[in-house]
Structure 1
Amino acid sequence: MTTTDKKTSPTKGGVAADNGFTTEEQQWVDKKKYAWILSMVPASIPLIIWGIVEWMKAINAPEALISASWFLGPIAVFIIVPIGDWVLGRDGENAPEEFVPWLEETKYYRIISYLYFPLMLASLVLCCWQWTYGGLEWYEKVGLAWTMGMTSGIGIVAAHELGHKKGSFERWLGKIVLAVPAYGHFYVEHNKGHHVKVATPEDPVSSRMGENVYAYLIRSIPRQIPRAWDIEKKRLARGGKSQFNLDNDVLNAWLITILIWGGLLIGFGIGILPYLLIQAVIGIALLEFVNYLEHYGLLRQKLEDGRYERCSPEHSWNSDNLTTNIFLYQLQRHSDHHANPTRRYQSLRSDVFAPELPQGYATMIAVASFPPLWFAIMDKRLMQYYNYDTERANLYPRKAAKLRAKWAKKAPVGTATKES
């Protein structure tokens, strides 16, 4: 944003300029405004790779190199993005509060998030064409499916951004994006389940201290679907409607998947089905790995009346690395998202009171893939945050006793701890 943009904003002192801002307020510029265009790159990864492959064919590159190119999606996510985080470092800048209403209302930022879907759909259609008519070997098809899975997984993040908004257009667009990896129930489960029970033992999406990511996936994913369905069943019952109704947001989201996948199967043949399934599994896994990171071991305490304390910045792990922020619509500023679920990505704020992951999401996903390394890094960080009091953490029941004993011994002398 430039300082010559005209709009109305409250003034807090100083001399008011002609455009409605004080001289002090005019000094702020949205340095990331045009960087958000890069958030559309993940939606275009298969398209970009196709272009690279065609260029490599034109210059007679080795066949092995061409085949490996179909796997560039995961390489981009897990190597290039972490390098970008390391090179560019942390973001750390929050828009002045006076500018937040303007940021929320500016259509440019909305269009950026809307464009993810048409680009994602074009990528999916290209993949289906390549799987059927591209003359690829089976392992090249798998590589392309894995690459499409990166696009689908980050697409769920784009759908997450849209699904929290009040407008029906954005909500439906979010459902359509979720249909590609066949994860439509996320629309209900995340908004009305996770946001209510976050950082409590009752929330299947909040990972627990001592729980590795693979145990988390096995526990969490199967419990999310029935919770979403139950939420919709109760909502419809209050209006006197059956759960088997097109107003059921789980049901209609699944129907969108059937329509999209059905159309692709009719158009490109049953042979694409294994690769559609692979891209869906990869996309879902990518999202759930991120879910695993976001609340690991953090716990809202119970009040005297039996209710949980209000969710605060202390109940989400944040990361403010610039590169990942751009590609994930600032999802890493997760505390502000839970405090203000309808706030748009461009306005999300970094919170100094939230616990911090040591690196960006892409790097931490790789770390979580190796549980001993994850525990060595994150359990220590969690215990330091809670002053070595394991009773303040959300413990994995199977390992609770071992964790209490371990950290009671490791607590520095003079640190108050509780043992059961």
Structure 2
Amino acid sequence: MSSVDMTLAEARAHDRKRWLWPMGFGIIIIVAAIALTGWATGITWLIFSGPIVVYAVVPLLDYFIGKDSSNPPERVMEILEHDPFYRYSTYIYVAVQMGLFIGACAIVGTQDLTIAQWLGFVTTIGMLSGISINTAHELGHKRTWLEGWLAKIALAPVAYGHFYVEHNRGHHARVATPEDPASARMGESFWAFLPRTVSGSLRSAWEIEKRTLARKGHSTWSVHNEVLQAWGMTAILWGVLMAVFGIALLPFLIIQAVLGASLLEAVNYAEHYGLLRKKDADGRYERCKPEHSWNNDHIVTNIMLFHLQRHSDHHAHPTRRYQSLRHFDEAPELPTGYAGMIVLAYFPPLWYRVMDKRVLAHYNGDLRQASLQPAARARLLAAYPPPVSAAD
């Protein structure tokens, strides 16, 4: 065995989750198989496999299986980055996602379903569409034309193509600041955050692309507009599906897209809740650091979301591939994986009870350093008075 082969083998040995990564697309195949079994056998509750897995099974598995906070040594990072095994897992995911999506549309559009069966399919596909946005996120940060287009394809079913522009060139520049529509503020419920982030991200993506095209001498309304490219892919996909399977498919397409987008935004809500970058003396925000993202190392959700929960390293190195993302001891930790945090986010009193004390501890009791919902600022500072210093 050559020294190069030995180094590659060593690098692979340091990734404890190497053979679990294909479960990223394996999980959605299992979910779809359960739903199809429920439809074929008349066991209707099985068709709701999507929400059952996302909201119950994965949080429970996170709890019982636990965490993996290990990092590959620096000497093997570059080798892991260029190992094609990891790229192929994301490529296959997109193909599997599209196949399952089209198959579900064929069933919904051509079969005589009960209301319960229809609801089962729309919620399950909505969950899978939402999870698939994360694969688009992983691919969209890479610099190859193939991965860029695969990211847009993965976003097409859920009609959230503007995410490709806003996340890469908006959110990453403004993360953990009041100007970022995708960074939640302490005291802001998920239900208040959702319309703010959806509308704000849409406006931001359009303005970013408009400015970019103007600098390049292109019209906003041109084939060069990446927002229009992504939305056009949704229009073509949905149009073809309705032409083949019937216009009655439209409510299914819309509702699964809304569910998928809201699942993504629930994750966004958890990722930076209450965290704030300080301004330097020149009025510019400090560089994004590990302490500006909530992290988590529960294994099951990390496999399902391609290490998205190692969010601090992702913001420090956006083009770094998921297998190389590192755990930081100094980064604030969520009490459970994103799947469990999504469930909490839907119930604001529970969310505040779990998360507000963590924000408080992160800032050593001084919420003046945190990102606070303006309408809740006075109430929060009264409930958690800042510590008295000698200067005070």
Name the TM-score, length of structure 2 as normaliser: 0.96
Q: 1:234-271 deviations in whole A, cap 9, x for unaligned? A: 11111111111111110111000011111101010011
Aligned to 1:334: 311
Q: Deviations over 1:82-121 (max 9, x none)?
A: 1111111011111111111111111111000111111111
What is the aligned partner in structure 2 of residue 41 from structure 1?
26
**Are the equivalent residues in 1 in contact too, given 2:127–2:263 (CA < 8 A)?**
yes
The superposition leaves residues 322-380 of structure 1 with CA deviations (integer Å, 9 ceiling, x where unpaired) of 11110000000000000000000111111111000011111111111110111111111
Contact 2:185 2:372 in 1 (8 A): yes
Q: Which residue identity does 1:30 align to in structure 2?
A: D
CA distance in 2, matches of 1:271, 1:26: 51
- In the alignment, is the contact (CA less than 8 A) between 1:45 and 1:147 conserved in 2? no
| Aligned equivalent of 2:97 | 120
Partner of 1:109: 86
The answer to whether structure 1 residue 351 and structure 2 residue 328 are counterparts is yes
Aligned residue in 1 for 2:346:
369
Report the residue type matching 1:161 in the other structure. Answer: E
Q: How does 1:233-312 map to 2 (within 5 A)?
A: 233-312=210-289
Structure 2 partner of 1:100: 77
Residues 11 and 79, structure 2, Cα contact 8 Å, conserved in 1: no
CA distance in 2, matches of 1:26, 1:214: 43
Aligned-partner Cα distance in 1 for 2:241–2:206: 27
CA distance in 1, matches of 2:280, 2:70: 35
Q: CA separation in 1, counterparts of 2:33 and 2:284?
A: 50
1:7 corresponds to 2:10:
no
Structure with higher helix content: 2
Cα deviation digits, residues 217-236 of structure 1 (max 9, x gap): 01111111111011111111
Which amino acid in the other structure matches residue 84 of structure 1? L
- Does residue 1:132 correspond to 2:109, yes or no? yes
Alignment gaps of 5+ in structure 2:
none
The CA distance in 1 between the partners of 2:238 and 2:338, in whole Å, is 30
- 2:368 is matched with 391
Q: Distance in 1 between matches of 2:262 and 2:390?
A: 36
Larger Rg: 1
Residues 72-87 of structure 1: pairs in structure 2 closer than 5 A: 72-87=49-64
Q: What secondary structure, in the 3-state scheme, does the structure 1 residue paired with 2:16 have? A: coil
Q: Please give the alpha-carbon distance, in whole angstroms, between the structure 1 residues aligned to 2:252 and 2:2.
A: 47
Q: Secondary structure at the match of 1:394?
A: coil
Distance 1:278 1:27, change over 3 A: closer
Which of 146, 151, 155 is the equivalent residue of 1:178? 155
State the one-letter code of the partner of 1:195.
H
Q: Which moved more, 1:378-387 or 1:25-34?
A: 25-34
SS at match of 1:402: helix
Relative to 1, partners in 2 of residues 1:416 and 1:362: Cα closer, same or farther, differing over 3 Å? farther
SS at match of 2:21: helix
Larger RCO (CA under 8 A, 6+ residues apart):
2
Q: How big is the alpha-carbon RMSD for the aligned residues of Structure 1 and Structure 2?
A: 2.0
Q: Please give the per-residue CA displacement for 1:263-294, whole angstroms capped at 9, x wherever unaligned.
A: 10101001111111111011000000000000
Q: Please list the CA deviations of residues 125-146 of structure 1 after superposition, one character each: whole Å capped at 9, or x if unmatched.
A: 1111211223211221111111
1:213 matches 2:190: yes
Give 1:32 deviation, angstroms. 1.1
Within a 5 Å distance, the mapping from 1:221-236 to structure 2 comes to: 221-236=198-213
Distance 1:416 1:271, change over 3 A: farther
SS of the equivalent of 2:51 reads: helix
1:229 maps to amino acid? W
Partner of 1:13: none
Q: Structure 1 residues 337, 417: CA separation in 2 closer, same or farther (over 3 Å shift)?
A: farther
- What secondary structure sits across from 2:108 in the alignment? helix
1:304 to 1:113, Cα distance in 2 relative to 1, 3 A: same
User: For residues 2 and 367 of structure 2, what CA distance do their matches in structure 1 show?
Assistant: 51
CA contact (8 A) 2:126 2:260 kept: yes
Contact kept in structure 2, 1:46 and 1:127, CA below 8 Å: no
For residue 129 of structure 1, what is the amino acid of its counterpart?
Answer: A
User: CA, structure 1 residues 45+262, in 2 after alignment: closer, same or farther (shift >3 Å)?
Assistant: farther
Secondary structure (helix, strand or coil) at the match of 1:71 reads helix
Per the TM alignment, residue 6 of structure 1 is displaced from its structure 2 partner at its CA by 5.5
Could you tell me whether the CA contact under 8 Å between 1:199 and 1:298 is conserved in 2?
yes
CA distance in 2, matches of 1:45, 1:399: 43
What's the % identity of the aligned pairs? Answer: 48
SS at 1:323 equivalent: helix
Partner secondary structure for residue 41 of structure 1 = helix
Equivalent of residue 325 in structure 1, options 302, 319, 324:
302
Q: Deviations over 1:130-163 (max 9, x none)?
A: 1122321122111111100111001000000000
Q: Distance in 1 between matches of 2:62 and 2:2?
A: 31
Q: How high is the TM-score relative to the length of structure 1?
A: 0.89
Letter of the 1:33 counterpart: R
Q: Distance in 1 between matches of 2:39 and 2:204?
A: 46
User: Bigger CA drift: 38-47 or 395-404?
Assistant: 38-47
